[in-house]
Structure 1
């Protein structure tokens, strides 16, 4: 059992129809048929959406995604139409709301990996492959791969694990032509993002993208290259052979699995509220990632 500790009631806004509440985002449709995405300050870990929020997190995700979309304008169009608040929306939605094209979504998480860690490391330990892509011997946690690889996954419901799949499975689901375009675009965007991040002192270990079709045009959707969708490591402390410090929710994970939290993951009971120091440290990491990457101070 997992999911929301306490699922929030969606706000009712005149002119908007609530469609879905996800781990972080609430999705609405406006009267023109466009989608309105609102990034909350919710945070998830170990398949639970926790009861304590991280102040400004939703705004960081939204503003960082917008910055990255600009970096890839020549590689892939994106779904953003406007950042203006819908009429009647609460003031708290400012900076965390995107009005987007309604796309025909591809049912695959498009993951690019340039370094070995996480579920990829587990598979590599068994088979020397990741999503059936062969890799050389001798790699360890945090090793840079000979070249970035496309390692897709199926998107899970809230509380479930995404499942890594092979390229052949993507072909089966979406067709050979679409699968090839997904792989090429994913690796092209990852490659540029990796180089940009490296110049700013961050290792982009891996990331996931979501795509949809605007007519016949493959289009980037959802969030891109945030601490929620990517593994960011500080260049100065990157050291293969161990777990890497990261710009994400690692403070939350570490606290949850420590005796201080009192939480027993195996018991499948909801996690407790987070203490203020864990919230503050997690918020600081999100802000540091934003400021390092964009070069702008968080306001």
Structure 2
């Protein structure tokens, strides 16, 4: 299998070329193509992995279907044979690794669900403890959690930790109240509740199959005035997966 490092669809304008995905403007819809590029620590690595984009796309399609009873999403088509004729000649670039989606008014907040204390959450948690070493609890982005947790410990309950969406560099973690000043309290509450609902149901499904979803992030937008799930969902690009049988808190 040949790797697809980037696509070249001449009939439609390239709207964006991200770390992994190429996005084309089809008018009232978008074509999103998951390439085989590898991104790590906000950098694109020079060597692609053949077939990676197909796997990422398949994962998102599965979870879009799984979560459709919780919230609608932007998926319109994913079968290359149903694409416009002008795109079908690019099947070598698009088959299995692309989807046509409805355009959405994107909410510029990364909606993060954390079931375990790891990554930037653990780093910020440590900094808060250093500032107040005698504390018995920690306020992590507006979530009160115990002060005796180790790296990768399971949290008493999943928490919602939104972040600003940055075009370059790392997203910045913010509190629920800070998010509410940007999007309004009602929308913020819906984003929080939906994020935690998706995470809890997905993690329960994964647990039964020997996998922990430690944390993940979602993007949302409005399509015809309806809050909808957009971008990609629950892939290794946006989530941390651990095998249950080798899970070891503190390491």
Q: Among residues 58, 66, 70, which one is paired with 2:61 in the alignment? A: 66
1:25 counterpart = 2:9: no
Query: Does the CA contact (< 8 Å) of 1:13 and 1:88 recur in 2?
Result: no
Corresponding residue for residue 47 of structure 1: 42
Query: Does the CA contact (< 8 Å) of 2:6 and 2:22 recur in 1?
Result: no
Corresponding residue for residue 151 of structure 1: 161
Q: How does 1:137-148 map to 2 (within 5 A)?
A: 137-148=147-158
1:182 counterpart = 2:179: no
Query: Does the CA contact (< 8 Å) of 1:13 and 1:89 recur in 2?
Result: no
Could you give the per-residue CA deviations for residues 1-59 of structure 1, whole angstroms, max 9, x where no partner exists? xxxxxxx7751332x2210010100110114x211000111111122111110111111
Query: Does the CA contact (< 8 Å) of 1:123 and 1:129 recur in 2?
Result: no
Q: Distance in 1 between matches of 2:160 and 2:250?
A: 23
Query: Does the CA contact (< 8 Å) of 1:43 and 1:50 recur in 2?
Result: yes
Q: How does 1:234-273 map to 2 (within 5 A)?
A: 234-242=243-251
Q: Distance in 1 between matches of 2:232 and 2:181?
A: 26
Corresponding residue for residue 3 of structure 1: none
TM-score scaled by length of structure 1 = 0.75
For structure 1, which runs of at least 5 residues remain unmatched after alignment? 1-7, 243-299
Q: Distance in 1 between matches of 2:213 and 2:173?
A: 19
Q: Distance in 2 between matches of 1:30 and 1:145?
A: 43
Q: Among residues 33, 37, 50, which one is paired with 1:38 in the alignment? A: 33
Q: Which one has the bigger strand percentage?
A: 2
Secondary structure of 2:199 counterpart: helix
Cα displacement (A) at 1:184: 0.5
Q: Among residues 196, 202, 210, which one is paired with 1:201 in the alignment? A: 210
Q: Distance in 1 between matches of 2:38 and 2:183?
A: 31
TM-score scaled by length of structure 2 = 0.89
Query: Does the CA contact (< 8 Å) of 1:203 and 1:235 recur in 2?
Result: yes
For structure 2, which runs of at least 5 residues remain unmatched after alignment? 81-86, 129-137
Secondary structure of 1:109 counterpart: strand
1:135 counterpart = 2:130: no
Corresponding residue for residue 227 of structure 2: 218
The CA RMSD measured in Å over matched residues stands at 1.4
Q: How many residues align?
A: 232
Cα displacement (A) at 1:93: 1.3
